[in-house]
């Protein structure tokens, strides 16, 4: 994700994280990353290109994976959801990761989004 965000500068990048949703509330583990094409080709917004989005969903269906998170980058601003991010949120039940490239070292935060607000999501990177 970080490499994609840096490679797509000065524009925002976007993509999906896939895994298996637990039967009950619990830990979700990301098993696969699906980089998508930003059809907006913009430094201030993203729009998942339909062809890459469809390919990702078909691959997930084939492997029995579900969308567990959405990600995009903010090339010049903090990793905080914008009003546009909240209005276009993928799902109130899906974590949204934002990668900020504003500083030398990228910073990533996870969020639960609604149109009216946003709350930080708990997450961690683990090595297997």
Is 12 considered catalytic here? yes
Which among 12, 25, 93, 109 is annotated as catalytic? 12
- CB of 22 closer than 8 Å to CB of 119: no
Q: Please choose, from the candidates 87, 100, 95, 90, the residue with its C-alpha nearest in 3D space to the C-alpha of residue 12.
A: 100
- CB of 70 closer than 8 Å to CB of 94: yes
Q: Which residues are catalytic?
A: 12
């Amino acid at each position: 994700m970080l490499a994609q965000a840096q490679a797509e500068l000065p524009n925002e990048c976007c993509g999906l994280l896939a895994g298996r949703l637990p039967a009950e509330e619990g830990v979700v583990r990301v098993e696969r990353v699906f980089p998508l094409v930003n059809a907006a080709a913009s430094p201030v917004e993203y729009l998942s290109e339909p062809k890459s989005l469809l390919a990702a969903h078909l691959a997930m269906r084939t492997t029995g994976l579900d969308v567990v998170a959405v990600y995009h980058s903010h090339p010049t601003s903090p990793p905080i959801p914008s009003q546009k991010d909240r209005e276009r949120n993928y799902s109130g039940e899906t974590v949204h990761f934002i990668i900020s490239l504003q500083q030398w070292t990228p910073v990533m935060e996870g969020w639960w989004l609604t149109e009216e607000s946003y709350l930080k999501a708990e997450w961690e990177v683990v090595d297997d």
